[in-house]
Amino acid sequence: MKKSQVIWFLLISLTTSLAFPFIGNANEVFVSEAQQNNHIRALAASCAACHGTLGNAVDNNSRSNADEGNATLAGIDVEEFKTKLLGFRDGSLKSTVMHHHAKGLSLDEINQLAVHFSQQKHIVTAPLKPQTLKAEYD
Ligand code: HEC
């Protein structure tokens, strides 16, 4: 190979390897911060059905599922969150549903979800009073 060909070869290898991280969506692949934020927010939204909007569970202001309703995750301690999720993931922490959710998460996602939920404001909610609905008949 000529010297100029070698230089071109090196230049092309370098630029293509730099460009590759933007293709694909495996965990190891670089994604921009905004994309990563959206990914984590989408994951966190999937927890809302049970743990409430932005981690504020309805009718349960505690961190534990042992109380009525599902645990509140808003404002949770980062280490506590990680320990629980990792426990659910490896089966050392017994659960009815959480092992399914935790198994689908990478370590990186767990770490970022921990930060996400720890930063949410814990809003203390009062249980709704039972309502007596009056039907009016003509
Ligand atoms: C289908 C309902 C459901 C969904 C969705 C769900 N969870 Fe849970 N979560 C539970 C239940 C029920 C428990 C109690 C453990 C068990 O029995 O699985 C729990 C427990 C937890 C706990 C421990 C609370 C405690 O008692 O100490 C954490 C932390 C947690 N979930 C985080 C998450 C995260 C993060 C997501 C979203 C990726 C999520 N959960 C999605 C139902 C759910």
- Predicted confidence band at 33 (pLDDT cuts at 50, 70, 90)? confident
Determine the pLDDT at residue 17.
61
Question: Whose CA is closest to 120, among 60, 74, 62?
Answer: 74
- Predicted confidence band at 18 (pLDDT cuts at 50, 70, 90)? low
Q: Best substitution site from 41, 43, 46, 47 to test ligand 1's pocket, by max atoms within 8 Å of Cβ?
A: 47
Amino acid at 49: A
Residues 121/74, Cβ–Cβ less than 8 Å: yes
Determine the pLDDT at residue 24.
46
**Ligand 1 pocket, Cβ-based, cut-off 6 angstroms:** 43, 46-47, 49-51, 63-65, 70-71, 73, 81, 84-85, 95-98, 101, 113
Burial (0-12, 13-18, 19+ Cβ within 10 Å), 102: buried
